[in-house]
């Protein structure tokens, strides 16, 4: 089945402030192929949350090294380092805007792959930052979006 192209939504789109719901055991996950396609089509994109294509399900795609996108379904941070780093973050849904965000340097994440196999994996530094940013999207709380809305627009 061909993947349905789905555009990345931006700025005032209502999906961006919604809390996404868990992907149920029998739910279709073909929307993640649209996420991969959208991320691949976005120059310099390193990650995408499902709500960024207006799908209100808990799935993210990450590509921190710009090589191959990975899909994480129902990602949950199960533990993290004591140390945090502050660095600027941008967002495909708020182009042209960035802001400084404090993130855990190392996180352990439980998630499922597209075949719904469970995994537990450690992410560090930039990859950890990308995962944390995209999980913020699943909670309707992208920090770049928060900064944009706080800017009074
Ligand atoms: Zn974002």
- 56-110 pLDDT, tens digit each: 999 999 999 999 999 999 999 999 999 999 999 999 999 999 999 999 999 999 9
Give a yes or no: residue 35 inside a domain.
yes
- Per the structure, the complete domain to which residue 100 belongs is given by 14-150
Q: What percent of the chain has pLDDT over 70?
A: 97
As a whole number, mean pLDDT of residues 4-15 equals: 93
Give 84 Cα–ligand 1 centroid separation in angstroms: 19
Q: Is 134 a catalytic residue?
A: yes
- CATH number of the structural domain spanning residue 121: 3.90.45.10
> Largest Cα–Cα distance of the chain, in whole Å?
45
Among candidate residues 95, 94, 107, 109, the one with its CA nearest the CA of residue 146: 94
Give 66 Cα–ligand 1 centroid separation in angstroms: 17
Give a yes or no: residue 9 inside a domain.
no
Give a yes or no: residue 33 inside a domain.
yes
- 153 pLDDT tier (thresholds 50, 70, 90): low
Give 143 Cα–ligand 1 centroid separation in angstroms: 7
What single string gives the DSSP state of each residue in 117-137? -EEEEEEEHHHHHHHHHHHHH
Higher-pLDDT residue of 111 and 1 is 111
Give a yes or no: residue 87 inside a domain.
yes
- Catalytic entry in 89, 112, 121, 134: 134
CA distances from 62 to 11, 16, 78 (A): 21, 18, 18
Give a yes or no: residue 79 inside a domain.
yes
Q: Give the chain's domain count.
A: 1
Give a yes or no: residue 4 inside a domain.
no
CA distances from 84 to 18, 58, 110, 125 (A): 26, 25, 20, 9
pLDDT computed for residue 26 by the predictor = 93
- Which residues make up the environment of ion ligand 1, defined by Cβ < 5 Å? 91, 142, 144
Give a yes or no: residue 48 inside a domain.
yes
pTM equals 0.95
Give 144 Cα–ligand 1 centroid separation in angstroms: 6
Phi/psi of residue 102, nearest 5 degrees: -90, 130
């Amino acid at each position: 089945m061909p993947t349905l192209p789905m555009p990345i939504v931006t700025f005032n789109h209502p999906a961006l402030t919604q809390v996404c719901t868990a992907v149920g055991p029998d739910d279709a996950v073909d929307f993640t192929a649209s996420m991969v396609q959208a991320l691949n089509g976005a120059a310099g994109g390193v990650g995408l949350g499902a709500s960024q294509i207006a799908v209100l399900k808990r799935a993210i795609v990450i590509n921190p090294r710009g090589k191959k996108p990975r899909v994480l379904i129902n990602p949950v941070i199960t533990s993290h380092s004591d140390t945090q780093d502050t660095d600027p973050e941008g967002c495909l849904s708020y182009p042209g805007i960035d802001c400084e965000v404090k993130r855990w340097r190392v996180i352990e994440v439980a998630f499922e792959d597209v075949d719904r196999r469970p995994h537990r994996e450690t992410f560090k530094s930039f990859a950890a930052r990308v995962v944390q940013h995209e999980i913020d999207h699943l909670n309707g709380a992208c920090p770049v979006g928060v900064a944009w809305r706080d800017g009074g627009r």
